[in-house]
Amino acid sequence: MSTRLDAQNQSPARIILFLGQQFKATRIALQITQQEVSEKTGISLSTIRRFENGLTFNLTLAHFIALLQAIGFADNLKDTIPEMLPDPNLLFKMQSKQRKRASHGKRSIG
């Protein structure tokens, strides 16, 4: 199974299947049982099984986060929606509106 997914060009069902498979593979590699995940999260075993098999289409975001927390991967969520950098044009406008200090150089009298 590939660990990469071109999610932009996949159906939601395919993405759910991929996420469930990745979750299961990670859980097994970490030697965490479905029962332990259920106990940590309060999510039923049947829901966890359906998620791991890509068969649940109504898993709440709260449950998804709880599942990631149960296997120690919730910190990866910060990469889901990256922090946006300011628009360079807006940044330029903001900088140009700042007050300029008056120059106290020599004045020519003339």
Q: Which superfamily is assigned to 7-95 in CATH?
A: lambda repressor-like DNA-binding domains (1.10.260.40)
pLDDT tens, position by position, 83-103: 777 777 776 777 776 656 666
Residue 1 pLDDT level (bands cut at 50, 70, 90): very low
Q: Where are the domains of the chain?
A: 7-95
b or e along 59-94 (b: 16 or more beta carbons within 10 Å of the residue's beta carbon)? beeebbebbbebbeeeeeeeeeeeeeeeeeeeeeee
pTM score, two decimals? 0.69
User: Residue ranges of the alpha helices (H) in 1-110?
Assistant: 12-29, 34-41, 45-52, 61-70, 88-97
